[in-house]
Each structure stands twice: as structure tokens, then as C-alpha cells.
Amino acid sequence: MHNNYNMKIFATTTYLRIIFAVTVLLMPNVTSAFTLSQVLGYFNIVIGLFLTASVLSYAIGVIIWATRYGTWPREEGFPFMQFGITTLFVLSVLLALINWLLKHTSITLYVISFILVVLCGIFILYAVRGKKKEEAPYGPPRPPGR
């Protein structure tokens, strides 16, 4: 009975995977509400907010470092400054990438569509293939209780 229950669960999950794969293939008709420029515009807003947070974090770190001159907890401002600087560099690279994507929209769409087709193909192959069955060990079966 336990093996039959596992087979039912396996069959159900396989069918759900196939249904999900077909849904993903039909998704471009459903999700065409935003253009690429609009989505990248929203990323510009989010990156602007994070840039503001990184500058504030750096400023807070400098204020903590400057006001604790001559005391031992002066180094508590360094993590704030480190977070601000690293976030600033990462976000400036992301902002440059988004601006490049906005200027070269046709190339971006070809690359994104290729990546999505490859990912959908991998997902469909994974869904159709299912789980591998474990092979039985070689030799006679063990006696019960051992």
C-alpha cells in the first residue's frame, strides 16, 4: 500500500509539472501588460531609493565615527560606511546596466527571449523526465529485522 501511495503522489506531481509547463508557455499572452521600458523604469526608481539609502548609511557611519573621537567604540561606524560604499558601487553598476538595456532594447529582447526559451525547455524536460528510481543493491535481500 505504501508503494501505491507513492506512485499516486508521483503521478500527481508529474501532471502538475506538465500543467505548469504548458501554463508557462502560454504566459506571454497573459503578461504583456508592461513593456520592457516600463519595467526598467521601475528598476530605476528602486535603484534610486537604494542609492539614497546607501548614501544615508555612509553618512550615518561618518557621523558615528566623527562623534566618538577618542573613544573605544569609534569603530562601530565602519560597518555602516562599508555597507554604504559597497551598495553604492553595486547599484551604480546596476544603473549602468539598466541604462544600457534601455538604449539597446531590441538586443535585450532577443537575449531575454533566448534565455526564457532555454529555461522553459529545461523545465519541460525536467517535468517530463520525473524522478530517477533508486536501483536495488546487488546481492540477495537482507533478512527482516537487520
Give the per-residue pLDDT at 3: 57
Query: What pLDDT is attached to residue 82?
Result: 92
> CA nearest 127: which of 19, 23, 25?
19
**pLDDT tens-digit series, residues 31-90:** 556 777 788 888 888 888 999 999 999 999 999 888 988 888 888 888 989 999 999 999
pLDDT score, position 115: 94
Are the C-beta atoms of residues 108 and 101 closer than 8 Å to each other? yes
Instruction: Please report, for residues 61, 76, 97, 118, the alpha-carbon distance to residue 54 in angstroms, rounded to integers and kept in the order given.
Output: 11, 17, 19, 36
| pTM attached to this predicted model | 0.51
Question: Half-sphere exposure of 91 toward its Cβ, with a 13 Å CA cutoff?
Answer: 19
Provide the pLDDT for residue 28: 62
Q: Give residue-wise pLDDT tens across range 76-123.
A: 888 989 999 999 999 989 888 888 888 888 888 888 899 999 999 999
- pLDDT at residue 11 is higher than 70: no
Mean pLDDT of 7-34: 68
Please check whether residue 91 is in contact with residue 47, taking contact to mean a CB–CB distance below 8 angstroms.
Answer: yes
Q: What is the DSSP letter of 31?
A: S
Backbone angles phi, psi at 93, to 5 degrees: -65, -45
Asked if 98 and 47 count as a contact pair (C-beta separation under 8 A), the reply is yes
> What is the structure's pLDDT at 10?
57
Please report which confidence band the pLDDT of residue 137 belongs to, taking 50, 70 and 90 as the band edges. low
Return the CA Rg of the chain: 27
